[in-house]
Chains A and B, each alone.
Chain A
Amino acid sequence: MRRKITNLGIISLILLSIAPASLVNAHGERSQEPFLRMLSVQWYDTKWSTDKVAVNEEVVLSGKFHLHTGWPEAIAKPDVAFMHVYVPGPVFVRKGVWVNGKPMVRSASYEIGRDYEYKIVMKARRPGMHHLHPMLNVKDGGPNAGPGNWVEITGDAADFTNPVTTLTGETVDLETWGWSRVRNWHILWALLGGFWLVWWLRRPLLAGRNILLRQGREDELITPMDRKVGMGLGILTLALIFYGYFSTIDKFPITVPLQAGLMELNPLPVDEDVVDVELQEAHYDIPGRSVRMTVNVTNGATSPVRLGEFATASIRWLNAGVAPDVGPYPQDLIALNGLEVDSDTPIQPGETRTLNIVATDAAWETERLALLIYDPDSRFGGMLFFYDENGKRHKQTFGGPLIPTFTAI
């Protein structure tokens, strides 16, 4: 019996070791709970300036986000949040982030119900295909990643340089700056520490000394030479510490402490010319992979509008013929004909109309938004984009309860 189990174990191990491993793509943004993705940060107008760059070239990631008024109670409010990017480590370096035109190198306080516009400049560092997302990290709330797109970096990583000019007038390469001082200092101390270890290791160390100690012959264990060497090492150690400290002050007389604290940030102005949306009811048709919404729309704009797009969790359902060209956008996050509206004629200024909207796409399943039925807060939300005949856009966020339908409609 034992042999059988052993053989089975060996065979299993061999099979596991030769089984093909699938490539891991992206970084788990789909694993975030749907209610969190649909009711917190609404990303829109996301653009990548290019999808292919050489090492040392830059990609600009830009767009906007709206902080949903239905922000879940389960996560902390964005009183402290950091405009971040979601990439697999420093394959790019981030050369600058601007939010509403202000440089945003640290965290700031963001206001729920308001919009923010960002621009992130990334410089290519390591060749490969990398998924690049905008991301907003909320303190005590966690990350919220926007849409991700693949960007290919070509060239040789060894060519990468990252110069920065200091206020003291030096231009330094952040890839290597200060490294020789770190390396040399560590080597110096490793030599001294190693010397002290070897000084004792060259003689009987443990058992022999323990025996002598127990025999009361302690005086034989620390010799006068040990004391002299110890004294010399102590003086050298202190001298090197003081030399290192004062020579560095001499070399770099002007330094500043690490910078901390929140940055100031104001949201974008509120658009007065709005189309109001009120959700009446919403059902998620699980077999049909579609959400059916009934909304009351009041056109507060000065021109007739039609519904062109529903967006949530970075996925876009478009009403073909109304929404303008969306430009380059990740194909797996867009449903070009995924939005149906029962009353698709223009809504006149001042008119209130009830629309029955169906947003259908496999993305509900593939992007794991269908898992909303397992969430503690079974509400959904999103943004509706209306367009007038001149292409002017009016956006409105909305949200509310979502009831699952488990049988085919």
Chain B
Amino acid sequence: MRTVAPGVDSYAEAYRVHRAFDYILVFIFITLLTGIHHLHAMLSVGDWTFWTDWKDRRWWLFVIPLSSLVFPVVGQYILWQHCRVPFGATLMVVCLLLGQWIDRVNNFAGWVYYPLNFVWPGTLLPSAIILDLVLMFTNSYVLTAVLGAWSWGILFYPSQWYMLGAFHLPVDYHGVLMSIADVQGFEYIRTGTPEYIRIIEKGTLRTFGQDVTPVSAFFCAFACILVYFVFNQFAKLVASVKFIKGRI
């Protein structure tokens, strides 16, 4: 005959055990997610996050929010669905930024000497906070997809311009018009990255003249709605104990 004895003797002790469990899990999750989310960003949209001369108004503001939405959606679902904790997106983006800054400071600047003002990542924290708040206030994944994910995409560019604007001042560079970011890309040599590799300002989106930024941002915002739905369902599928039922 098996006997089950309680592991704790009081509510106070139970509380302490819960908190210890929280801290251990949070530490493990942050460590893992910092690595995994950063790796995901590097492999999917690496150069756009690395260099100022890739941060254009056509591709950068489209691919970064789109690619970087995957982890926040899944994190948000797990934490909200099972614990009603509304910081899944913020946590994922904090992990991403932690990984990116460790990488930039140690590798890009410390190891190969690029100045940090050339290799900084954008920040998705403003978008993530809004995404979390929309879920908290609506308690609806559909509304979070439509309002939150849309905001995630649309707010990305304006929330970077405080940093990026300074790098778009015009320069007469030996008789060629360039932005400061272009000059950085030209002068700070990336031996294995010739100029033609840059995927910037390419495409047929020319109908709106100079106002390509809002068009790209709106397109990104709508694409983010789709990504939110897809990965919300993905999270629903995989964030389950049904795979290990009967084994525990």
Task: List residues 186-239 of chain A with CB under 8 A from any CB of chain B.
Answer: 186, 189-190, 192-194, 196-197, 200-201, 204-210, 213, 218, 221-222, 226-227, 230-231, 233-234, 237-238
Among B2-10, B157-165, B227-235, the stretch that binds chain A is B157-165
CB contact between A255 and one of B19, B91, B165, B178 (< 8 Å): that residue:
B165
Cβ of B26 within 8 Å of any chain A Cβ, yes or no, is yes
Contacts of B49 in A (CB 8 A): none
Residue of A nearest to B57 (CB): A257
Say whether B162 contacts A193, CB under 8 Å: no
Say whether A82 faces chain B, with CB atoms less than 8 Å apart. yes
A257 touches B168 (CB 8 A): yes
Chain A residues whose C-beta falls within 8 Å of the C-beta of B220 in the assembled complex: none
- B74: Cβ under 8 A from any A Cβ: no
Contact partner, A89, options B94, B113, B130, B176, Cβ 8 Å: B113
Interface stretch, picked from A60-68, A162-170, A388-396, is A162-170
Instruction: Kindly state whether residue A54 has any CB partner on chain B within 8 Å.
Output: no
Identify which of residues 168-227 in chain B touch chain A, using a CB-to-CB cut-off of 8 Å: 168-184, 186-192, 194-196, 198, 200-202
In the assembled complex, B67 has its CB within 8 A of some CB on chain A: no
Complex: chain A residue closest to B174, CB-CB: A103
Kindly state whether residue B128 has any CB partner on chain A within 8 Å. yes
Which residues of A lie under 8 Å from residue B113 when comparing CB positions?
Answer: 89-91, 125-126, 157
Count of interface residues, chain B, beta-carbon cutoff 8 Å: 81
- Whether B166 is near chain A, meaning CB under 8 Å from some CB there, is yes
Task: Tell whether, in the assembled complex, residue A82 and residue B196 are in contact, meaning their CB atoms are under 8 Å apart.
Answer: yes
Q: Which residues of B contact A207 (CB under 8 A)?
A: 18, 21-22
Contact of B165 with A167 in the complex, beta carbons under 8 Å: no
Give the one of B86, B163, B191 with max A CB within 10 A.
B191
The answer to whether A193 and B189 touch across the interface, beta carbons within 8 angstroms, is no
Indicate if the CB atoms of A182 and B194 lie closer than 8 Å.
no
Which of B91, B129, B155 has its CB near the most chain A CB atoms (within 10 A)?
B129
Q: Which residues of A contact B137 (CB under 8 A)?
A: 227, 230-231
Docked-complex contact B87 and A197, CB < 8 angstroms:
yes
Q: Are B196 and A139 in contact (CB under 8 A)?
A: yes
Residues of A within 8 A of B145 (CB): none
* A94 touching B186, Cβ below 8 Å: yes
Contacts A218-B84, A222-B86 hold; do A233 and B188 have CB atoms under 8 A apart? no
Could you say which residues of chain B place their CB within 8 Å of the CB of A91? 113
Q: How far is the CA of A339 from the CA of B174 in the complex (A)?
A: 42
Residues of chain A with a CB closer than 8 A to B115's CB? 174-176, 179
- Which DSSP category, helix, strand, loop or mixed, fits chain A's interface? mixed
Give Cα A315 to B170, complex, Å. Answer: 42
A295 within 8 A of B: no
Given A92-B189, A93-B189, A244-B158, verify A166-B171 contact (CB < 8 Å): yes
Q: Answer whether residue B143 sits at the interface, using C-beta atoms and an 8 A cutoff.
A: no
Whether B94 and A193, one on each chain, are in contact in the complex, defined by CB atoms closer than 8 angstroms, is yes
Q: Who on chain B is nearest to A250 by CB?
A: B165
Asked whether A105 and B178 contact (CB < 8 A) given A181-B162, A260-B202, the answer is: yes
Nearest-neighbor residue (CB-CB) of A27 within chain B: B191
Nearest CB of B to A231, in Å: 8
> B194 is contacted by which of A84, A170, A244 (Cβ under 8 Å)?
A84
- Is the beta-carbon distance between B130 and A242 smaller than 8 angstroms? no
Task: Tell me whether A95 is interfacial, beta carbon within 8 Å.
Answer: yes
B residues neighboring A (CB under 8 Å): 15, 18-19, 21-22, 25-26, 53, 55-57, 82-87, 90-91, 93-94, 97, 101, 112-118, 120, 123, 125-126, 128-130, 132-133, 136-137, 155, 158-159, 161-163, 165-184, 186-192, 194-196, 198, 200-202
> Could you pull out 5 A-B pairs where Cβ atoms are within 8 angstroms?
A92-B189, A207-B21, A218-B84, A256-B177, A258-B200
Q: Which 7 residue pairs are nearest across A and B when measured between Cβ atoms?
A: A244-B162, A137-B194, A255-B168, A178-B166, A103-B174, A248-B165, A179-B117
